[in-house]
Structure 1
Amino acid sequence: MKKLSVFSCVKRGLSLAIEQIGLLIGCVVLAFLASLITGGLYDIYIIGYVLSIVVSAIFEVGLINISLKAAKQEKARFEDLFAKIELIGSVILVNIMIFSVVVLLLFVTALLIDTANMASPFLSLIAGAAMLGITLYIIIGFVFATYIIVDKEEGPIGAITKSYKMMQGVRLKVFGLFIVVGLINILGLLAFVLGLLITIPAAFVILSVAYQTIFKLTFTENTSD
């Protein structure tokens, strides 16, 4: 049985994020500025859209790489933001795969609700709630796929498979962790928005701490078995 403490992940993540907060804030600011620039290129249609996806993936890989180093108590440097840029293709592919699954699940949910509503509004409510639970259950299984790609340099399929395996027995706690991280970012938003410069990098490190904890619990236990 895996033992994961949401409180411990948050506490340790915040502590480790503070140690390298200057670099983390700088990277988040750079990512924000890059998103503003690429966001202004949407008028170029497909080129602007593709460029936005690529730039977003570059910073996703970079921020995960730096947050993983922080979680491992390794000194991160600015160049680590682009040290694993060759992995953006795998990250983009994984994000597309996950997005496709979400769209499919939402389509099935809408179809079931519409069908059930013909019989009874109450039945449609039950169907919607059931599909929401199933959707969350499946999506939570994918949350660390990009972390595995960056940390272990796994391919998209291997990353999704391992991420799904990691979630066995800890889905509810990971869901709770994401709620806490979301609340932390809301606090950052309320702090004149500038608080997000601290809470966003802290969130990355908190999730990196959780990822490393669950990864070790999952694959160390399997090795010992």
Structure 2
Amino acid sequence: MTPKNIALFFEALEKAIPNPQTELFSTNPYTLLVAVVLSAQSTDKGVNRATQDLFKIIHTPHDMIQFGEENLRNAIKTIGLYKTKAKNIMKLSHLLESDFKGCIPNTREELESLPGVGRKTANVVLNVVFGLPTFAVDTHIFRVSNRTGLAVGKTPLAVEKILDAIVPEKFRQIAHHLLVLHGRYTCKAQKPLCPTCPVKNFCSYKFKTQETPPAYSKNSLKKKMTGPIELP
């Protein structure tokens, strides 16, 4: 994709998705970190269902420590890998209290030193909390980038590095959200909505879906069969 088309690609996405934001529910930087840790191999909707009550009583690492691991497991048991995630959240809460005065660190290295926090989670926190132009390549961004030809790479890290090099400055802070939301609602894994896609003119996907022709209703079919016969 040429630099000009890349700019037009993001302009079209921004027009279709104004003010893009994360769909994970949170009340502050700490609860966002917890939500992102919980979202690994889980859907945002599933995480939000589990945290809507949890975050009414949990606001800080200290709150989580007082809440306890057993109560946390029970609160998030509808989420995949909940036992491991509960253990990691308790550990990172203790570390935040002891090493960071209860605050969320603002560097990738410090974030990735926390249990359960990998590169993608760190990128989300850096982008959403601190406004940094990072690209958290999840399954949606990986699919959209490769399918459209925007950033073709064999691994999430490869795609991230390409995006970091090609995304215009104007869109760097919101590109992550634009691509996630586009992949979630339009450029779906199964049956992408190509006919209504705002960036279809810039997309190199070879198997674009087509609009389904309208089916005949019983009345229109009957009318067609019983109507006057035109003779040559």
Q: What TM-score does the superposition give when structure 2 sets the normalisation length?
A: 0.28
Q: Relative to total residues, which structure has the larger helix share, 1 or 2?
A: 1
> Which structure is larger by alpha-carbon Rg, 1 or 2?
2
